[in-house]
Amino acid sequence: MNFIALTTNILVLNIFFVYGKKYEPNWDSLDKRPLPQWYDDAKIGIMMHWGVYSVPSAAGGEWFWGVWGHYGHPNSNSSQSKFMRNNYPPQFTYQDFARYFTAEFFNPDDWADLFENSGAKYITLTTKHHEGFTLWPSTYSPNWNAKDVGPNRDLVGELAKAVRSRNITFGTYYSLYEFYNPIEGKDKRNHHKTNEYIRRKMFPEMLELVEKYKTEIIWVDGDWEGKAEYWNSTGFLAWLYNESPVKDTVVVNDRWGLKLKGHHGDFWNLKDNFASVTLIKHKWEGTRTLDLWSWGYRRNMNLDSLVPTKDLIRLLVRDVSCGGNFVMNIGPTHDGRIDLVFQERLLDVGKWLKINGEAIYKTRYWTYQNDTVSQFVWYTKGQSAVYAIAIEWPKENVLQLGSANELFVNKKPIVTMLGYPDKLKWTITNTPNKTVSITFPNRATVKGEWAWALKIK
């Protein structure tokens, strides 16, 4: 090594140690960060919308205040205004709801047990939705947080501790936008030439959330209200990826500014309830609410607005096969319960995953997503096997596969059905395309329902 090379090396090392900064606050640099592997391995998550809106828990859900209006519109015909007129005294404000957000039945260990039994490997809790109310005692949101009003508890801290004791990763949702924050309103009137809301409220609050709770998912929302430049998104992410206590493990979604969905972030959400039936090579998350009409709890929910278990399993299988993670959203109640019907759905999914988890967790997408001949069969790839997951039972108990030839022709794979003890018989038909036919067991002898995973090894 000559002198010049040596000094250059020392210089480079010095620069690295002095600044220690791998990522610059621009998208080109931030986009180079590799996805932390745990997220792609985890596959299954639960999102929860919980806040002051869980008190009225009426039409509009988590948007209740936004559609009702700041001081209410006594003459407006919106269903929220009618609801308030018919059920509350005229002077009742949205803030008055906060004291009824009691959470007296909230037992974080019970929730964590439920999540564990649902097979979820991570959760994402709304720590602040558009209403601005924080579920932790935010320094920057006095008297509008769960410690000062309502439950008088640090809901974020309590839940983080309980889920982590079960090896479930703790993640948080945070809305950039707030419905009626006056400082944000002022910035808006200034056409975002000022950024007082970012400096005084949002940015310090996000730092507090990360530093205090070491959250490993930052799921932002309300992005459409401003450009990424206003939100200081690249500034926040550079801090998060370089310096934060979770810099090596944290993952973020894609809602970092107006029209940026599907462009940046460790995983993409694209839009609410997004689904894909074709491969998306960038990591994505299908985030689905179990009550189709709301993300927060609605007391007036009906069974027909609930996604049936069978559909959930199908979505789960399709998402994973197409490179996505699968997340189910539920709205807990104001008093800290998780509705029985949500519990039942989550446990159903858990029951399915207990048998079929091997075809889901830690897998990657395969060459084909669904089969060319049996389009209801979706593939995943494990460490040493390919899984073909049938979301319908095949006609006459024989499954025809058109995309799996490379696993069968001139090979002798063993085909099993997860949860079923015996090997399955298969043949290659003598058609030009060499379709593979696999004989399913008698349906009455098979344990699982909803979808059946074949292991081809």
Contact set with ligand NAG (CB under 6 A)? 25, 75-77, 166-167, 195, 198-199, 203, 232, 235-236, 238-239, 277, 370, 372-373, 375, 402, 433
CB of 292 to ligand NAG, least distance (A): 20
Least separation, in Å, of the C-beta of 393 and ligand NAG? 17
Burial pattern 250-288, b for ≥16 Cβ within 10 A else e, equals bbbbbbbbeebbbebbbbbbbeeebebeeebeebbbbbb
Specify the DSSP element, H or E, that contains 44. Answer: strand 44-48
With beta carbons less than 8 A apart as the criterion, state whether 125 and 171 touch: yes
Q: Which is nearer to ligand NAG, 77 or 384 (CB)?
A: 77
Which of 177, 162, 297 has the alpha carbon at shortest distance from 233? Answer: 177
Three-state SS at 108: helix
> Smallest distance from the beta carbon of 342 to ligand NAG, in angstroms?
24
Q: Which is nearer to ligand NAG, 25 or 441 (CB)?
A: 25
Q: Shortest approach of ligand NAG to residue 137 CB, angstroms?
A: 21
Dihedral of alpha carbons 327, 333, 337, 342, sign: negative
Tokens of 337: 């319960």
- Closer by beta carbon to ligand NAG, 146 or else 209: 209
Nearer to ligand NAG, 257 or 296 (CB): 257
- The answer to whether residues 45 and 121 touch, using CB atoms and an 8 Å cutoff, is yes
Nearer to ligand NAG, 94 or 239 (CB): 239
Of 192 and 381, which CB lies nearer to ligand NAG in the complex structure?
Answer: 192
| Count of C-beta atoms within a 10 Å radius of residue 194 | 15
**Nearest-angstrom CA–CA distance, 175 and 206:** 10
CB of 86 to ligand NAG, least distance (A): 15
Shortest Å, Cβ 76 to ligand NAG: 5
Print burial letters for 219-230: b (CB count within 10 Å at least 16), e (below 16).
Answer: bbbbbebbebeb
- Considering beta carbons, is residue 172 or 195 the nearer one to ligand NAG? 195
Q: What is the nearest approach in angstroms of ligand NAG to the Cβ of residue 243? A: 9
Smallest distance from the beta carbon of 302 to ligand NAG, in angstroms? Answer: 26
Six token digits for residue 67: 């559609």
Torsion angle, alpha carbons of 384, 390, 395, 396, to 10: 40
Question: Do the Cβ atoms of 439 and 397 come closer than 8 Å?
Answer: yes
A 10 A CB-CB count for 28 gives 9
Q: Closest approach of Cβ 233 to ligand NAG, in Å?
A: 9
**Of 103 and 404, CB closest to ligand NAG:** 404
Please answer whether residues 244 and 211 qualify as being in contact, where contact means their C-beta atoms are separated by less than 8 angstroms.
yes
Amino acid identity of residue 422, one-letter, is D
Q: Least Å distance between CB 421 and ligand NAG?
A: 27
Residue in the shown chain whose Cβ atom is closest to ligand NAG: 235
Distances (CA, A) of 298 to 101, 334, 339: 14, 10, 10
3-state class of 416 per DSSP?
A: strand
The smaller minimum CB distance to ligand NAG, of residues 96 and 243, is found at 243
Q: Which is nearer to ligand NAG, 75 or 91 (CB)?
A: 75
